[in-house]
Amino acid sequence: MTLSQTPLKKIMLKNPVSKCIICREVIDIFILKLLKVLLGLALVLAATLTVHIGERRDLEPDEALFSIETVHFEIPDEISPPMPSYSAEPPDNTAEPEPSEPEVPVEPEPPEFFPFAVEETLPEKMIASAAVMAGGVIVDEFNFPERIDFGFGHTYTDLEGITTFRGNHLRDTASFGRADIRNGRFGNTWTRNTASLMAPDGVVWTGHGWTGQPLIVRWPAATREIMTNMHTWAKAQDDLVEVIYPAMDGFIYFAELETGRVTRDRLFIGFTFKGGGSIDPRGYPLLYVGAGYESARGASRIFIISLINGSVLHTFGNNDSFAPRTWNPADASPLIDAGTDNLIVPSENGVLYIIKLNSEFDPEAGTMTIEPDQPVKWRFRGIRSHSNGRFWLGFESSPAIWRGHIFLADNGGHLICLDLNTLEIVWVVDNIDDTNCTPVLAIEDDHPYIYISMAFHGAGWRAPASSSAVVPIRKIDALTGEIVWHTDYYCYTVRDLSGGVQGTPALGRYELSHLIFVPVARTPTIGGGTLAALDRHTGEVVWEYQTGSYSWSSPVCVYDRNGKGYVIYNTMNGTMHLLDGMTGERLDSIALGGTVESSPAVFENTIVIGTRGSIIWGVELT
């Protein structure tokens, strides 16, 4: 190390006799004489010059600046005895600064939101009636005593991971963290086998179907410790990221993200789970998930399950006399308002349920309890609902929420803005057809917008199944329901296997922040599909990626450490595609060995997805 690289305070005199057993007086005399000699020599050599070593801000950290100037020294008559120290390093008498608290970034307040209808979105144009039930009776007016209010998407959960369909209440992401991507390729994989379940009507359900997104969570060690159904090895890990995956075979599967190793024995509930579940965003060990089909164990219902021991704590939503439809499944992914302890979930029976859970989690005691109040329920009937067997009531897609308003898209082609605190309809958009994709909310310049599309229903509601129909992709002003732009695709359909947009659009971030990615099924051919990358501001097509097999799966955007964006896109023939998000160029693909309807979730470098071929895949990005 050169002098210029050596901090001055670290240059110290070494005492060659410090280990000798000599009396202290002898040592002090020797040091005094030695210092006088050395100091005299130094003064002679540097009588007119001194070298100042300093750093200049415009130089690299390992560079030094030397300056020379004339100085004058005053030689003392004698040198004071040294400080009683075994180091010749001079003491630092500079007072230590008082430690200051690090500045905590101030979280900006989400902008206020007071939506209203304009002429074309007036509720009376499409809604025939609506009703609210509270405390078991229908009421004329309603107000929640505690205000339900959701802010920015990143504030939704205290946990690391994907805890609900598309990540949060805005439904704007299914990937967590950034990936270390260097090659733009798929890497190592792991697999887990699932099974099948026969329904009372003889239908056999296998693997994972639409929407079928896994949940991925990094559990705190203290929470893992009280999970009695978790294997000992999993509890003992310094860090555990767990995949929780309800399946159509009636089981819920648990696996370590990195390896696929079983973290808990699979949990048999006995109902087919098609849609996406949710983990409580507060870190409570609770799983919320709705059944997607009737079972030998009874009508479909919504479950609240303890992740401490796997017990079912509560069910609701089955055989509800308030419901406008007798079909019980619930594919929507529930949301939790942490501030008011309310569970919010719509069902295919046409009811929106809001339930005060009265939940209590005691990590020290290892207990998780809920005492749900009677649910507050809301329903409506559209003017065209069930006309000639079309435009069914019921919600299959998951809701999105901004501030105190929920956005619901239903089987009957309604997109509804509903005040969550009064349960009054604010505006309604005619969304043309059965809507299974989930509305995606984006806050752009402090203003909320919705990206959404719809299906071309398999029964040919708008045109014969053998022909094509227009399927617009829309950007909607969430304040009024007005359509900002639309981009149209002409799609085919097949009975029970609809064309159009069944997967949920993916909102770009970082270098992809100007794009929205939309999977369009059965276009340009009846069996083909197109992933469309559209400009968020204009709706113009930036690029398209066409495949011979269509997609119901929701694409996922993944980003590397520098913000470069990639898109994961899955097609029905079981192929997973890795695309460059800016250009649509295919970088890699992998065959998953079974039909893919479900949507993936991504945690840093690992993708998880299930197939109808009864396999759960973990796929590494490299």
- Residues with Cβ < 8 Å from 396, sequence gap 6 or more? 275, 331, 332, 348, 410, 411, 436
Q: Residue 44 is encoded by which pair of tokens?
A: 């002679």
Q: How far is CA 250 from the centre of its chain?
A: 25
Average pLDDT, rounded, for the chain: 87
**pLDDT tier at 33 (50, 70, 90 boundaries)?**
low
**pLDDT tier at 553 (50, 70, 90 boundaries)?**
very high
Q: CA gyration radius for the chain? A: 33
What pLDDT does residue 607 have?
98
How many residues comprise the chain?
622
**pLDDT tier at 440 (50, 70, 90 boundaries)?**
very high
What pLDDT does residue 536 have?
98
Collapsed DSSP state (helix, strand, coil) of residue 148? coil
Q: To the nearest whole percent, how much of the chain has pLDDT over 70?
A: 83
How confident is the model over 37-64, as a mean pLDDT?
A: 41
**pLDDT tier at 276 (50, 70, 90 boundaries)?**
confident
Is a pLDDT exceeding 90 seen at residue 436? yes
Q: What is the DSSP string of 571-619?
A: -TTSEEEEEETTT--EEEEEE-SS---S--EEETTEEEEE-TTSEEEEE
Identify the H or E element spanning 43.
helix 24-45
Q: Of 473, 568, 566, nearest to 523 (Cα)?
A: 473
Domains of the chain, residue spans? 3-70, 119-621
- What are the tens digits of pLDDT across the range 485-509? 999 999 999 988 999 999 999 999 9
Is a pLDDT exceeding 80 seen at residue 415? yes
**pLDDT tier at 407 (50, 70, 90 boundaries)?**
very high
Is a pLDDT exceeding 50 seen at residue 94? no
What distance in Å separates the CA atoms of residue 555 and residue 140, rounded to the nearest whole number? 42
More confident residue, 98 or 441: 441
Distances (CA, A) of 617 to 251, 252, 287, 424, 600: 16, 15, 22, 43, 10
Identify the H or E element spanning 234.
helix 232-235
- What are the tens digits of pLDDT across the range 247-265? 999 999 999 999 999 999 9
- What are the tens digits of pLDDT across the range 589-613? 999 999 999 999 999 999 999 999 9
Class of the domain covering 119-621: mainly beta
More confident residue, 23 or 576: 576
- What are the tens digits of pLDDT across the range 221-250? 999 999 999 999 999 999 999 999 999 999
Collapsed DSSP state (helix, strand, coil) of residue 87? coil
**pLDDT tier at 458 (50, 70, 90 boundaries)?**
confident
Is a pLDDT exceeding 90 seen at residue 584? yes
Q: Which amino acid is at 617?
A: W
